[in-house]
Amino acid sequence: MATTKHTSKRASKGTSKPTSQTEGETPAQPEVDPDQQPATLDDCRRCPLWANATQGVPGAGPRRAPIMMLGEQPGDKEDLQGLPFVGPAGALLDDALVEAGVGRKDVYVTNAVKHFKWTPRAKRRMHKTPAQREVDACRYWLDQELESVGAQVIVALGATALKAVLEDPKSRLQDAIGKVIEHGDRLVVATYHPSFALRAPDPETRHRAYAAIVAALQDAKKLAQRRK
């Protein structure tokens, strides 16, 4: 486990969803207020993603957990159930946790972006990668979770999570994998997003990505034990 230091480069509440339009009408714009300080996710209008999501999906896990796993954004199933990582990516993550010997009681699971961003294809809602400005807007919620959970070790699952936790849109997953990054008083371990381990075109890549996720979780467990 090589350790590197990372320095940060970070530099009217609406209540209703836009109503459906009739033909010829200008599409309704979702209410957005980037400076809003909402008390609840339901009230969040900091970016437009709230408008097409079923609900905001908060993190889940013990109130104080030594490890936080950070994903990108809820998927279709998470959006419907209101819980993070309950779909196929979550099942893979559960297997990886078991294989790495990390108990669920030791991890808090959340996402960099709390609303599902999607685009329609036939009858399905297809995942769309959130824009950096949406990740930045959602940092409001991540900051609160980092503070309240107090995890010393953050496992960033994929590039969006890595950029979000390091507050650096230029950070690259390939440069971070296999390293432990010091960020403020926390340690960040970066690995592949579970969806990559599920959907990479060839079995060899899927296998390697899964093994890397397990290895990252094992590293996180060791680091968290040292920080106790």
- Write down the least CB distance from residue 222 to ligand URA, Å: 24
**Among all residues, whose Cβ is closest to ligand URA?**
71
Nearer CB in complex with ligand URA: 18/177: 177
When asked if residue 111 is in the footprint of ligand URA (CB under 6 A), the reply is yes
Tell me the two tokens of residue 123: 């009858």
In this structure, the dihedral spanned by the alpha carbons of residues 218, 221, 227 and 228, taken in order and rounded to 10 degrees, is -150
When asked if residue 85 is in the footprint of ligand URA (CB under 6 A), the reply is yes
- Write down the least CB distance from residue 67 to ligand URA, Å: 16
Question: Coil, strand or helix: which one is 171?
Answer: coil
When asked if residue 71 is in the footprint of ligand URA (CB under 6 A), the reply is yes
Integer CA distances (angstroms), 179 to 155, 182, 191, 219, in order: 11, 10, 9, 10
In the set 53, 61, 67, 73, which binds ligand URA (CB under 6 A)?
73
Distance of CA 144 to the CA centre of its chain: 14
23-31: long-range contacts, CB 8 A cutoff, minimum separation 24: none
Nearer CB in complex with ligand URA: 59/66: 59
Interface residues toward ligand URA, by CB under 6 A: 71-75, 78, 84-85, 87, 89, 111, 195
